[in-house]
């Protein structure tokens, strides 16, 4: 399962395509939670792109949590903070000098490669394939890995080369990767820290619009057909800096200032969060765990590495970070115990737990059901079922759409 963030200017909102998104179910979840009349904040434990947290803007304050840190930047930008008063054009104007300075440095560093790329983009499909296959990156070149280590340890502008070293000539064109690095240099140099999450969320969202990948970033697309070739040439020649500007407009704040003031955003393992016992003022917990064996960290590694900008160990054509987060919810051998942990810890908090889980989920493959586990910890478990079409984005099932029954399990203490 995956997700891809696609930011478009649509009714002023970020449109996020995320594997397993509950956007289509958000109203049902909101209504179910409202009926529980939560006496405190609602925790969205596996919040992803936050479609459920967003739907609760007039119901209750929210605490979001997800294991992937780039999702938290998006959540902070949308669900926290005072009203923004700065127009996006002013942000662009503020960042432009630092952006251009780093852009020109990188254009000089990569002058030869940029020329090769331009020639490949003007050439045939075979030319582009050959360019992609021969391009050097951290996944196939010891020299690039050495450069990445130097950049990681640099305190100057040379630090800003991660996208070029990791993701160019694959997920992005080299030209776009350079723009991305230059934009990050400008964002990191900006002194208006209040705008930082907004800028970083837009930087990621703008990238997702242009990424050469099928909606997630487990792998990039190759020009294996004429239509793929045309699409890649068209996408690769678009400007990331322009998309960043549009995404600043699209990453709008949700709810009013009073609602956002009481919201919190956490990053980490959901099971750690509920077992730590540190959450305060909680009325209900909502859990939308992964339900297939696809680890999200594999599908969204590029956004995670971009956001963290931490020059991780990375190997192979996919340039995937080696220290990816993995969860028991996506392992057939651990999914049953993960559900036990979830139910045990939330029941200790003495609040209702609402779980989203499809009938076709991995838990069933492991021979268990949500009610049979939940009833060991809660006094009553009600099931509500809905027909839904899942977007799998071609992850492990291969099909891009899969019809399924979505269930909401309402577990009452």
Q: Which residues bind ligand SAM (CB under 6 A)?
A: 18, 20-23, 46-49, 51-52, 65-68, 71, 269-271, 288, 290, 296, 327, 329
* Choice between 14 and 135, CB closer to ligand SAM: 14
Please identify, using beta-carbon distances, which residue of 34 and 69 lies nearer to ligand SAM.
69
The nearest distance, CB 361 to ligand SAM, in angstroms, is: 10
Cα 50 versus chain centre, distance: 10
The Cα 168–Cα 158 span in angstroms is: 17
112 Cβ contact list (under 8 Å, min separation 6) = none
CB of 238 to ligand SAM, least distance (A): 26
Q: Which is nearer to ligand SAM, 6 or 91 (CB)?
A: 6
The tokens 């930008």 sit on which residue?
Answer: 77
Which residue's beta carbon is nearest to the bound ligand SAM?
48
Q: How far is the CB of 182 from ligand SAM (least distance, A)?
A: 29
Q: State the nearest-atom distance from the C-beta of 269 to ligand SAM, in Å.
A: 4
Q: Give the nearest distance from C-beta 391 to ligand SAM in angstroms.
A: 11
Q: Is the CB of residue 297 less than 8 Å from the CB of residue 367?
A: no
Dist CA 57 CA 256 (whole Å): 8
CA distance 136 to 170: 10
Cβ-based nearer residue to ligand SAM, 312 or 361: 361
Nearer to ligand SAM, 249 or 269 (CB): 269
How far, in Å, CA of 176 to CA of 194, rounded? 26
Write the DSSP symbol of residue 392.
-
Beta carbon of residue 237, minimum distance to ligand SAM (angstroms, whole number): 31
Min CB(68)–ligand SAM separation in Å: 4
| 53/411 with CB nearer ligand SAM | 53
* DSSP state string for 53-98: HHHTTTT--EEEEES-HHHHHHHHHHHSSSPP-S-HHHHHHHHHHH
Q: What is the DSSP string of 168-234?
A: BTTTB-HHHHHHHHHHHHHHHH-S-GGGHHHHHHHHHHHHHHH-SSSSS-SS-----SHHHHHHHHH
CB nearer to ligand SAM: pick between 20 and 245: 20
């Amino acid at each position: 399962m995956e997700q891809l963030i696609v930011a478009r200017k649509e009714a002023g909102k970020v449109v996020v395509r995320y594997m397993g998104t509950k956007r289509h179910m958000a109203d049902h979840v909101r209504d179910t939670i409202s009926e529980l009349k939560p006496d405190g904040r609602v925790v969205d434990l596996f919040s992803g792109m936050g479609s459920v947290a967003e739907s609760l803007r007039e119901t209750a304050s929210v605490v979001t949590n997800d294991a992937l840190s780039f999702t938290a930047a998006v959540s902070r930008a949308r669900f926290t903070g005072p009203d923004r008063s700065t127009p996006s054009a002013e942000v662009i104007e503020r960042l432009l000098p630092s952006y251009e300075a780093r852009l020109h440095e990188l254009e000089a560093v990569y002058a030869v490669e940029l020329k090769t790329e331009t020639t490949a983009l003007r050439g045939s499909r075979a030319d582009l394939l050959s360019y992609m296959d021969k391009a050097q990156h951290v996944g196939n070149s010891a020299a690039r890995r050495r450069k990445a280590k130097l950049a990681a340890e640099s305190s100057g502008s040379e630090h800003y080369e991660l996208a070029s070293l990791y993701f160019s000539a694959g997920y992005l064109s080299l030209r776009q990767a350079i723009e991305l690095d230059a934009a990050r240099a400008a964002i990191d140099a900006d002194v208006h820290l209040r705008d930082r999450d907004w800028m970083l969320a837009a930087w990621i969202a703008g990238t997702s619009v242009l990424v050469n990948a099928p909606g997630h970033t487990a792998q990039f697309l190759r020009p294996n057909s004429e239509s793929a070739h045309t699409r890649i040439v068209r996408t690769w020649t678009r400007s990331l800096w322009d998309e960043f500007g549009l995404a600043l407009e699209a990453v709008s704040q949700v709810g009013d200032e009073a609602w956002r003031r009481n919201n919190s955003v956490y990053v980490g393992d959901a099971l750690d969060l509920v077992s730590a016992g540190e959450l305060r003022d909680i009325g209900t917990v909502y859990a939308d765990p992964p339900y297939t064996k696809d680890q999200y960290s594999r599908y969204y590694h590029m956004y995670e590495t971009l956001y963290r900008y931490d020059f991780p160990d990375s190997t192979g054509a996919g340039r995937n970070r080696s220290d990816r987060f993995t969860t028991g919810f996506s392992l057939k051998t651990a999914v049953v115990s993960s559900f036990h942990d979830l139910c045990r810890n939330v029941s200790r908090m003495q609040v209702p737990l609402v779980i989203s889980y499809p009938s076709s989920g991995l838990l069933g493959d492991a021979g268990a059901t949500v009610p049979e586990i939940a009833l060991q910890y809660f006094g009553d478990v009600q099931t509500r079922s809905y027909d839904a079409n899942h977007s799998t984005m071609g992850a492990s099932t291969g099909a891009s759409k899969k019809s399924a029954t979505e269930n909401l399990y309402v577990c009452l203490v």
